[in-house]
């Protein structure tokens, strides 16, 4: 394989991987911290993509459009949380209901913003990879277009640092407690439901932001972008937290980003070796199953090792 092809392969894997990393951070909040199986991600990713694209078409600053996309996703996450906390609907059903509702909302936003089109093309409009200050970065570095990689890396690191900082606050600690021990939160005279709603808002806000980043990277948005995104997010979290489990010095937020990069690399390698794009969703499902199986095997090995050590004492 030609060296230029390999570099292009790595470049695309990094571009998508860092965007998936932002998505994985959101899924990490709902899946790992809150232990909430949130399927509304498949709706909030295209919501963020659609909102950001439509706002850019209306002349809004691309960075501001990403912020509003995050807020739109956070609002959808709040709805998921309210359905669970206030109406006592099961978490799985809450996600399905919000995801279903977002199918119509996304379609309505897209049709209104594009004049009846099902896709929004941004090729002639400013995006975060063209706007200030990113526009100051050379588009070609030694013959390779690496600007998108730099932007997505910076956004993924920024989201990770903000997440790390938030989880150290009192609200972040309550969020962790709400996912592992609701009674403890109640004993502190706090409402665990509020923490759940906040966590779902953050998780879906990051998912929507990931959708906006993918839109800016591609230069277009469509309503099919959300298909399989919950699988990508979950697989990234599982791969990252499992493969780097022994690295105790590494934060979980860093691990899930690395998991997203590994997942993206696997997809790109498969496509490079001739996998038809029509089978991409099947490959995503297979990779997710492999991640689950490998995690179970690793957990089983660690459990046996712990029993052996305990028995030898």
Residue range 4-29, pLDDT digits in tens: 778 888 888 999 999 999 999 999 99
Six token digits for residue 297: 């095997």
Compute the distance between CA of residue 55 and CA of residue 65 in angstroms, rounded to an integer: 6
List, in order, residues 6 or more apart from 173 with CB less than 8 Å away. Answer: 167
Residue range 216-230, pLDDT digits in tens: 998 899 888 888 899
Single pTM value for the model:
0.91
Residue range 27-53, pLDDT digits in tens: 999 999 998 989 999 999 999 999 999
Instruction: Give the pLDDT of residue 48.
Output: 96
How far is residue 11 from each of residues 21, 63, 66, 182, measured CA to CA in Å? 15, 23, 23, 43
* Nearest one of 75, 64, 66, 82 to 102, comparing CA atoms: 75
């Amino acid at each position: 394989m030609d060296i230029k092809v390999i570099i292009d392969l790595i470049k695309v894997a990094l571009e998508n991987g860092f965007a998936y990393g932002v998505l994985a951070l959101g899924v990490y909040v709902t899946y790992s911290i809150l232990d909430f199986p949130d399927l509304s991600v498949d709706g909030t990713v295209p919501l963020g993509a659609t909102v950001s694209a439509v706002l850019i078409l209306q002349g809004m600053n691309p960075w501001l459009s990403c912020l509003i996309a995050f807020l739109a996703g956070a609002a959808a996450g709040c709805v998921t949380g309210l359905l669970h906390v206030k109406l006592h609907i099961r978490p799985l059903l809450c996600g399905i209901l919000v995801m279903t509702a977002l199918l119509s909302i996304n379609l309505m936003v897209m049709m209104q913003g594009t004049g009846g089109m099902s896709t929004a093309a941004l090729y002639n409009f400013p995006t975060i990879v063209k706007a200030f200050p990113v526009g100051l970065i050379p588009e070609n570095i030694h013959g390779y277009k690496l600007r998108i990689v730099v932007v997505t890396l910076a956004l993924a690191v920024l989201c990770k640092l903000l997440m790390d900082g938030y989880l150290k606050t009192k609200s972040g600690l309550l969020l962790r407690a709400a996912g592992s021990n609701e009674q403890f939160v109640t004993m502190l005279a706090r409402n665990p439901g509020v923490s759940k709603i906040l966590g779902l808002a953050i998780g879906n806000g990051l998912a929507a932001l990931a959708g906006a980043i993918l839109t800016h990277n591609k230069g277009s948005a469509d309503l099919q972008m959300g298909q399989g995104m919950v699988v990508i997010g979950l697989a990234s979290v599982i791969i990252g937290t499992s493969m780097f489990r022994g690295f105790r010095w590494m934060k979980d937020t860093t691990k899930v980003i690395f998991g997203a990069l590994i997942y993206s690399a696997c997809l790109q390698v498969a496509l490079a070796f001739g996998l038809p794009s029509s089978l991409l969703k099947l490959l995503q499902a297979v990779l997710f199953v492999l991640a689950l199986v490998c995690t179970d095997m690793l957990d089983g090995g660690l459990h046996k090792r712990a029993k052996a050590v305990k028995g030898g004492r």
